Copies of this chain bind each other. A is one copy, B any other.
Amino acid sequence: MEEAFRAGMAKMTKPEKAWIRDREGKEQAILKAAMTVLAERGFSKFGVNAVAKGAGCDKQLIYRYFGGLEGLADKIGEELADWIGREVSPDTRTDSYAETVADLLGKFSEALLANDLVRQIVIWELAESTPITVRLSAARSRALSDWISRTLKTAPSPSPRVDAPAINAILIAGVQHLVLAERSSGSFAGLDLDEAGRRRVRAAIRALCRSAYGEGEI
């Protein structure tokens, strides 16, 4: 029926392509759809069917162009390589280690709060350990540690009497977890994470940095 119709109309209309040939465009569409699905619906909905549907093409193309979900996740990882560098302005003070770390934690918090994709990847890493999450985790933590060392490089060194890497790990983990909790439940440990709560957390972070890294006297 369809063919007969098209054959009949052939003389009055253009050949009417059944689909357009645009590999690069499709690849882009697939990659974008993959990031959108992961960012907006979470890792449990991240699959070939959902991505193909989002990209408006056949799922076979995901296998052909990216080698399946794993290859697609690798590409997302590359895309992630410098996410934080893009989103964060590099205007940190350099006069004191405590203030620099506090600034850094604040910027990190804002960047993570604004980036659905990175948050979902963090959650995915916590929830599962698969080839995909291992790769994504590597890409993300590399981007993060690069950014941190880049930011702290110009700051004065902390006192060797304190274990700065351990303290920073605790503070970064705390900030990261509070951002995740804010997005999911909106509160943590009885503390409402609304605008006022976030302000208190910011102040507490700075107080912790100052007291831990000395220099309490500005």
Within 8 A of B (CB), among A129-176: 129, 137, 141, 144-145, 148, 162-163, 165-176
Q: Chain A's interface: helix, strand, loop or mixed, by majority?
A: helix
**Copies of this chain, tallied across the complex:** 2
CB within 8 Å for A170 and B126 given contacts A137-B185, A190-B165:
no
A180 close to chain B: CB less than 8 A: yes
Q: Are B169 and A129 in contact, with the CB atoms below 8 A?
A: no
A212 neighbours in B (Cβ, 8 Å)? 207-208, 211-212
- Name the residue on B nearest A161 (C-beta): B207
Chain A interface residue count, Cβ-Cβ cutoff 8 angstroms = 48
Q: Are A170 and B129 in contact, with the CB atoms below 8 A?
A: no
Min CB distance A6 to B, Å, is 45
Q: Are A189 and B125 in contact, with the CB atoms below 8 A?
A: no
Q: Are B129 and A185 in contact, with the CB atoms below 8 A?
A: yes
